[in-house]
Amino acid sequence: VFAAVVQAPEDPILGVTVAYNKDPSPVKVNLGVGAYRTEEGKPLVLNVVRRAEQLLVNDPSRVKEYLPITGLADFNKLSAKLIFGSDSPAIRENRVTTAQCLSGTGSLRVGAEFLAKHYHERTIYIPSPTWGNHTKVFALAGLSVKTYRYYDPGTRGLNFQGLLEDLASAPSGAIVLLHACAHNPTGVDPTLSQWEQIRQLMRSKGLLPFFDSAYQGFASGNLDADAQSVRMFVADGGECLAAQSYAKNMGLYGERVGALSIVCRSADVAVKVESQLKLVIRPMYSNPPIHGASIVATILKDSDMYNEWTIELKAMADRIISMRHQLFEALRAKGTPGDWSHIIKQIGMFTFTGLNKEQVAFMTKEYHIYMTSDGRISMAGLSSRTVPHLVDAIHAAVTG
Ligand code: PMP
């Protein structure tokens, strides 16, 4: 009965790793992977995560019962505090409802399903370009997906004018997806004063902000700094949604731990919104897994572990920033034609190199360097050892 099913293409991002794994070359480098790697190219489990897991394992009172539909209550409270700030008026006034969801993706999807059912304007504007999964997550939830201009290939920076024009002509009430920090794939973020202009425009038009926060702390090494954009919107008393992921900043990728928060106008509304979130979640996966959320809650509620986390987080962010500088300096030293300063200006895990599809294909074929065809490279996949090989490849691609 399934004979007519056609072969689907590989996921454009995860497919890069599939191709990398098949390549027998000893010099191959995977810059497609969206996960942190050490200087030795290995995945990293944070020390503080190991410590938290030890505590959990050794606690005989811990059982494996189902969590409530919206997840672990402590985790939810601590997650809201982490993104909105411990002094957030919205939290103080009980205007926030938070549900533990399946990492960033699951949080986006639950938020999207809720909006498709309960929000009057079913159009969402996402940046062009954006993380490849956004379109599908929102479209499959039943929202109509449109784009707003974001990246300017000419400057390899923000197309701020285009962004403002597109949001200004969006229908009033439309939902707008915003990357809280470390925009993926471009690494280009608005400045704080640009965020303020975006906020004013969106509030004046009644556009609903939906923040995707997949890199809090991972961009600058500072958890508060990376949440500034979100906090600006919450400070004005208006509504917003925020999807948080602990994949990158706690290295909990496969634990699938994240949270969806909805900031409402009043505590009353927040209670009703939560009741509807439960109706969205229950038939999807009933309730979320317990282990990852317990790790996060253990770390966030203990000041000593929290501090250890921030130190380890900063070390990851700093290594990535240092890779940016090493790559930039090496390209300069080699005299590779072009202005490569965007490598050190861009923020977060990725650099949008500006290399085109043909150049990427050439680098993969001749140098065994793997990346997405849009020229995005993961700085976390790079090390001092692999920088010279990458520079040789880029040099050959742009001069060849
Ligand atoms: N949003 C963005 C912008 C991302 O880059 C990612 C991860 N690549 C996610 C959401 C979701 O990640 P996860 O579901 O693993 O938390």
| String of DSSP letters for 160-221 | HHHHHHHHHTSPTT-EEEEESSS-TTT-----HHHHHHHHHHHHHHTPEEEEEES-TTTTTS
Tokens of 15: 């497919």
245 lines ligand 1 (CB under 6 A): yes
**Atom 16, ligand 1: residue with shortest CA distance:** 104
Instruction: Please check whether residues 206 and 87 belong to one and the same domain.
Output: yes
The mean pLDDT of 25-45, rounded to a whole number, is: 93
User: What is the Å distance from ligand 1's center to 248 Cα?
Assistant: 8
Q: 222 lies in a domain?
A: yes
Q: 244 lies in a domain?
A: yes
The pLDDT confidence band at residue 278, using thresholds 50, 70 and 90, is very high
The mean pLDDT of 103-120, rounded to a whole number, is: 98
User: What is the Å distance from ligand 1's center to 336 Cα?
Assistant: 33
pLDDT of residue 267: 98
pLDDT of residue 109: 98
Range of the domain at 341: 14-45+317-399
- Beta strands (DSSP E) in the chain are 29-30, 96-102, 123-128, 144-149, 151-152, 157-158, 175-179, 208-213, 240-245, 257-263, 350-352, 369-370, 376-378
- Contact partners, residue 215, CB within 8 Å, separation at least 6: 180, 181, 182, 184, 226, 248, 249, 348, 349
pLDDT digits (tens, 9 = 90+) for 128-180: 999 999 999 999 999 999 999 999 999 999 999 999 999 999 999 999 999 99
Instruction: Please check whether residues 167 and 290 belong to one and the same domain.
Output: yes
User: What is the Å distance from ligand 1's center to 265 Cα?
Assistant: 28
Q: 87 lies in a domain?
A: yes
pLDDT of residue 125: 98
pLDDT digits (tens, 9 = 90+) for 303-358: 999 999 999 999 999 999 999 999 999 999 999 999 999 999 999 999 999 999 99
Tokens of 380: 């976390």
The CATH number given to whatever domain includes residue 126 is 3.40.640.10
Give this prediction's pTM. 0.96
324 lines ligand 1 (CB under 6 A): no
pLDDT of residue 10: 82
The CATH number given to whatever domain includes residue 371 is 3.90.1150.10
131 lines ligand 1 (CB under 6 A): yes
Tokens of 71: 């997840």
Average pLDDT over all residues of the chain:
96
Q: Is the peptide bond before 129 cis (omega within 30 degrees of 0)?
A: yes
Q: 117 lies in a domain?
A: yes
Instruction: Please check whether residues 282 and 357 belong to one and the same domain.
Output: no
The yes/no answer to whether this complex scores an ipTM above 0.90 is yes
pLDDT of residue 369: 96
Residue 35 predicted with pLDDT over 90 = yes
If one counts the domains in the chain, the total is 2
Which residues are catalytic, by number? 131, 212, 248
Q: 53 lies in a domain?
A: no
